[in-house]
Structures are given as C-alpha cells and as structure tokens.
Amino acid sequence: MEKALLEVRNLKKYYSLKKDWLGRSKGHVKAVENISFSIRDGETFGLVGESGCGKSTAGRTILGLMPATEGEVIYQGKTLRTLSKEELRLTRKNMQMIFQDPYASLNPRMTVFDILEEPLRAHHIGEKQDRRKKIEEILEVVGLTKRHINRYTHEFSGGQRQRIVIARSLILQPKFIVADEPVSALDVSIQSQILNLMQDLQEQFQLTYLFISHDLSVVRHLCNRVGVMYLGNLVEVSDVGTLFNEPLHPYTKMLLSAIPIPDPLAKRERIMLQGDLPSPANPPSGCPFSTRCPDVKDICRQVKPELKSMTGEARQIACHLYEA
C-alpha cells in the first residue's frame, strides 16, 4: 500500500465572482488554495473540514469535472494535463465519483437500466445483451437484484438509491473513487450499511478512495490517512490514528474537540473558536487560521506557513508553532 496512485500538486481552484453591470470582475472565491497530497494505492484518504472549506471543489477538480485554476493531478505517474484526448478518456474511466445526494444525482426519467447503461455506451463497451448482463451483475454486487432493473428511481428508498449511485460509479471498473459525503443525505440507520458496502467493495475490487466528509467519527472508522482543510488550505496531513490521538494543528485540535464522546462521564475540553469563518473571497494574510487561532503569534499574521513534514514523523503540518 505504499505506491502513490494519485498525486495532487499545488492545486488551486478559484471561482470568479459575477461581474458588475460595467463588466468589472468582483474578484474570486479562493475555494482551493495550493493544496498538495498523495493517495496510495488501495488506501482511503479522508478530506475533512467545516462546510465551505473547499472539500467538494477539491474532489471535483481532481476528477476533472471542472478545470483547475493552477496545479497538477498525476494519476499512475501521468500528468493529466499532458494527456491526449483519448488517453484522458481512458484514464477518466478509472476515476469515478459517488455524489452526496442520491435524490439529486439520479435522473428521475431514467430506469435503473438506462442509468447504468449510459457510461457503458459512452465508452462503447459491449453489445446491448452484454451490457444487460454487466448491469445485472453490478446490481447484485451492490445488494440490489435484476428485478430492479426496469424501475425508476422514485420507486427506491434513499439507501437503495445510493446503491444505484455506487453501482453507476463501479460499472466501468474504476480503480479510484471520490466519495463526496456519500452518506450525509441518508437516514442515520442506513448510513452504516452503505459505509460497510463501500468497505466490502474496496476489498473486493481493490479500490482507492478519496473520502470527503465533515463527519469525523465516520472518517476515523473508514480512512487510513486524513487531510484537514481550512479555508481552502490543507493544514495537517496524517495517518488517522496519530491525528485522532495527538492532533497538532490548533484547527485540528478544535475540530476534534467538537466530536461527541459516547461516555457521558468522560471529560474533554471543548475548544471554542473565536470569531467568524473568514470569507474565501477575502482570506486573511499570513496563516488562514490566524484570525481565530488561540495560539496566534505575530509571524502568523504576516507569513503563510507551508505544509511541511514533521521531523521523524510521517505527518505534515502547516503551522508556525511547529517550525523549529
């Protein structure tokens, strides 16, 4: 599990704010600000952070669903930007997405067969009969049956719909899947079924996941390594055990302190954040967390800390407190 399957280098994604009536640009939302990390073959890498910190934008930009402003995505050693159209099409077949909301991401006018056949047709895979066979097989794999094949999605529950979304992401036999909050739109009682299914599928098909979530308990359970994002920046990257047992970045500490503890008698200090979350259209100078950090120093307001490896440790952190 050591080789990198995917590398993200200095990825930036800015959204242009609407122009005013004279056609003047009103600036940019800096949704993803220069992030770099790699995902090893076979692992689940989690991206965590509060709503609006840029997790979904990062996931979608990595998959090429929208163009990056700057930076590179390298898949199996190939820089995607340098590939020909045909090479890119074949590579993208290996990289799929599970969207958050199975109510919004499935076309209500299509049957399960149509939904699952679409990617196969787009890639000219098989004749109609072969495609039907593949679709029947994949339905079994995700815990549905071939009896479901001609139904429309409104006939299914939320959990079953998410199984269809997962089947669609698997039908082209990808190696890498971005799962963007795959259970947060589902009933709590269904969430663990879908997460268990994702884990089984990972084992069965040797999948590598980029798992995007704001739910730290889920991330702890599912991920091997985690990247913590704040205001478009990666502030800490670490294996999951180290991160949860000994968070270092003041923002990570704050995030983890907010996880509910099951034991009502256990005590833990809850770190409250000061101030409001700054706008990604007008981020603070220096460290992005400097306006809310309880340990802020002068340098933090002036110089942006880079994400650097801790000496003797596999984790990386972007914080002046650890720069000695």
Ligand X SMILES: Nc1ncnc2c1ncn2[C@@H]1O[C@H](COP(=O)(O)OP(=O)(O)OP(=O)(O)O)[C@@H](O)[C@H]1O
Binding interface with ligand X (CB under 6 A)? 15, 29, 31, 49, 51-57, 214, 280
Rg (CA), the chain: 21
In contact, 230 and 214? CB cutoff 8 Å: no
Q: Which is nearer to ligand X, 120 or 231 (CB)?
A: 231
Q: Which is nearer to ligand X, 14 or 75 (CB)?
A: 14
Q: Which has the closest alpha carbon to 29: 62, 58, 54?
A: 54
Residue 22 to residue 30: CA distance in whole angstroms: 23
Q: Least Å distance between CB 230 and ligand X?
A: 10
Q: Least Å distance between CB 212 and ligand X?
A: 7
Q: Which is nearer to ligand X, 171 or 179 (CB)?
A: 179
Residue 106: DSSP 8-state: S
SS3 203: helix
Q: Whose structure tokens read 């056609």?
A: 23
Q: Which is nearer to ligand X, 142 or 177 (CB)?
A: 177
For residue 24, give every residue at least 6 positions away whose Cβ sits within 8 Å of its Cβ, in sequence order, or none: none
Q: Which is nearer to ligand X, 250 or 280 (CB)?
A: 280
Q: Least Å distance between CB 247 and ligand X?
A: 19
Spatial strand order of the sheet with 316-317 comes to 95-98, 176-180, 208-213, 44-48, 225-230, 233-239, 316-317, 308-309
Look at the alpha carbons of 276, 243, 218, 227 in this order and tell me if their dihedral is positive or negative. Answer: positive
In contact, 320 and 68? CB cutoff 8 Å: no
Q: Least Å distance between CB 51 and ligand X?
A: 3
Q: Which is nearer to ligand X, 65 or 90 (CB)?
A: 65
Q: Which is nearer to ligand X, 54 or 119 (CB)?
A: 54
Residue 275 to residue 290: CA distance in whole angstroms: 11
Pairing of strands 176-180, 208-213: parallel
Q: Least Å distance between CB 153 and ligand X?
A: 22
Between vectors from CA 292 to CA 287 and to CA 294, what angle results, nearest 5°?
Answer: 100
Q: Least Å distance between CB 15 and ligand X?
A: 3
Q: Least Å distance between CB 281 and ligand X?
A: 8
Residue 268 to residue 253: CA distance in whole angstroms: 12
Q: Which is nearer to ligand X, 29 or 166 (CB)?
A: 29
Q: Least Å distance between CB 1 and ligand X?
A: 27
